Structure 1
């Protein structure tokens, strides 16, 4: 079956059957889907974590239906979802999304299935026991959680795969302490009064990752692909201390050190006690990194170092006609991945092991019939699905 393309940079509706069956061309994607509890409550209502399971209780929620249709149209082989609430029981989130949405045809599209998935715990909403925003009380949630969240698991992550996941070899870094990163930007963080924002006692306990960092090996035709997944905190919603901006930078820097390996990654340890960085050269960094080299409020040296790393392949940038139309005033509009106008979401392949075939952002132009899927935030998300086709080479 040949691929049907709407535009040169737009999403392909079906992958060629031969590419999937041979496992030579892999479509890798990331999508911040806004499937967290706060998206399903009224204004001024505090979510509790029960909202996503309730929204998934049937198969006709409009926003979730559109998200499923987008995924069915793009048809990624490996897909990271950001802002998909974490529940330890897959029956409360992952499985109903698979069974009631992805495995059911939407608007005439072909249903899609993912035999393998991984979802682990995250730091969002986990009580730190400390007053991290210095408002005089340790509230337990929100800004005083290890990662901003109103309940444990909010803004979680989920990886889907058509190929087997090597679960025993997964490395997670949820518990890694920020202080243990050499040269971290936390140590000298000071408020407007000139005092250390975090006391030495607090610095001893803070975790680096606002959600988590995952290294998930996926087995493709006997070869291993390391999917490096994360969702760094937005570099805003703070004060002159720039605690979120500094954290965003260091969360991104973590991957730069990790893929470098050797002495530069010697400080890294995972949640099982393993140490060091990535041992293989074939990887792909995916996620909503909340940073751009050209725009926005992030400390740009973090994302610049990652994208410019010697082991990262540069060249073809995912783009869309919808992004171009959304910000016609911006030179970078075609590569934007969020409705508010920035490249925030990334699929970053390694230089080794791949040949980049194609890439795009699912963002239909204003006159496209599929515009209904992204017409407003409530249609699906304020982010767009980003995909890249990678040909596996030895």
Structure 2
């Protein structure tokens, strides 16, 4: 089954979002009313069509995710909404939410029927501003019919738009300033890590090298106007650094997908970059937050050496302590890094990384211990996802909002 797929970006905005002087965090504490606090989150929600059993549902012409959302029969979707209602981010990136070009058949259904409806007694939550756009997963290359081809899809997926992403925001998105890097070619990154064979030749064919896109989904730079301040959301979902062979094509791609952001936010070394509109160069604004399931850890997993450190040790990135949870600590009690894990198999995979000029006042991972409220929402993958929501509170002392 294929999601609708259009070669254009789509952004929607309805109503207007006002600022508030205090936000409630998961501990029900309030920040000082002298400051404005912005909660930013990322959540791999595992809301891709193959996650839903359609045996008892008539598909007609709808995408399976659309059918699942309309049916109301999948408690996993309600649980995802409840987690978001409990943590109440102002800006949230949803990874693995299938791309459906018509938002009325996708993200707006999730908003209207789940987020804007109380789940288990928690207050509904509204996001007036939405950004979604096509991604590379499941999109066939010109070599798809060649049995000898190694590059049959630009990103792994059974249909176009699988494992996509969407951004929800309480604050206006500056649509005319968005930059996307879906079509940037891997070969155009200087000193790239494109895989090679034992003799040093390219693992991909010459024709495949010429067509290979770097981003397995896409890279988005989305400016959000938070009261009188602009904060750019840098969103992505690099490929997992596994499911390959000795050539380590996925590990190397993951590294270079993260390197794109490293180069993008650096003061030099990014003149080679070009976005999908042909604009060249790196990041020109002041404040940003790097968001997403980045599929890399410096201490666990199989990432290419130094992959995530390109961001964690970057001078423009805030070096605040990793968000933690009690549930994560107890999930892998023999792992000294377990409290900072964001995935059930035992790894910090999901990140909210503000720029160094932003002040982090609090952070956390929604992963209650078994004896804590909400534990049933993360009991297993079927309950919600194999990832956990990660949130960070950013204090904006100079923000002036019309309350």
Using the size of structure 2 for normalisation, the TM-score is 0.88
Matched, 1:282 2:287: yes
Alignment partner for residue 322 of structure 2, among 317, 320, 327? 317
For the pair 1:88 / 2:112, whether they are aligned, the reply is no
Q: Gapped runs of 5+ residues in structure 1?
A: 6-10
Post-superposition Cα deviations, 1:300-358, rounded to whole Å, max 9, x if no partner, equal: 31211211001111022210000000000101000000000000000001011x21100
Confirm whether residue 190 of structure 1 aligns to residue 196 of structure 2.
yes
Alignment of 1:58-77 (within 5 A): 58-77=71-90
Query: Which residue is 2:333 aligned to?
Result: 328
C-alpha distance after superposition, 1:75-131 (max 9, x if no partner): 000000000000111011111000000000000100000000100100001111226
Q: Does the aligned pair in 1 maintain the 2:300–2:347 contact within 8 Å?
A: yes
What is the aligned partner in structure 2 of residue 29 from structure 1? 41
Task: Name 1:38's counterpart in structure 2.
Answer: 50
Contact 1:59 1:101 in 2 (8 A): no
Aligned partner of 1:52 among 65, 78, 85: 65
Q: Distance in 2 between matches of 1:92 and 1:193?
A: 50
Matched, 1:392 2:392: no
The counterpart of 1:125, out of the listed 120, 138, 146, is: 138
Residue of structure 2 equivalent to 1:8? none
1:271 matched to 2:271? The reply is no
Counterpart position of 1:291: 296
For 1:2 and 1:153, locate their aligned partners in 2 and report how far apart those are by CA, in whole Å. 37
Within-5 A mapping of 1:1-394 = 11-12=26-27, 16=30, 24-41=36-53, 50-130=63-143, 136=148, 144-186=152-194, 189-191=195-197, 195-262=201-268, 264-352=269-357, 354-394=358-398
Distance 1:257 1:195 in 2: 26
Change (3 A) 1:392 1:280: same
SS at match of 2:51: helix
Deviations 1:349-393 (A, max 9, x none): 1011x2110000000001123110000100000000000000124
Name structure 2 gaps, 5 residues minimum: 1-20, 399-403
Deviation (angstroms), 1:59: 3.6
The answer to whether the Cα contact below 8 Å between 2:225 and 2:231 also exists between their aligned partners in 1 is: yes
CA contact (8 A) 2:45 2:387 kept: yes
Structure in which a larger fraction of residues adopt helix: 1
State the 1:4 CA deviation. Answer: 7.2
SS at match of 1:359: strand
**Partners of 2:290 and 2:353 within 8 A in 1:** yes
Structure 2 SS opposite 1:99: helix
Could you tell me how far apart the structure 2 residues matched to 1:179 and 1:92 are?
36
* Distance (Å, rounded) in 2 between the aligned partners of 1:247 and 1:23: 40
Task: Name the TM-score, length of structure 1 as normaliser.
Answer: 0.90
Structure 2: distance between partners of 1:210 and 1:49 = 25
Distance 1:227 1:2, change over 3 A: closer
SS in structure 2 of the partner of residue 300 of structure 1? coil
Tell me if the contact between 1:37 and 1:49 (Cα under 8 Å) persists in the aligned partners: no
1: distance between equivalents of 2:111 and 2:267?
A: 36
Shift in CA distance, 50/89, structure 1 to aligned 2, threshold 3 Å? same
Contact 2:54 2:64 in 1 (8 A): no
Distance 1:247 1:131 in 2: 20
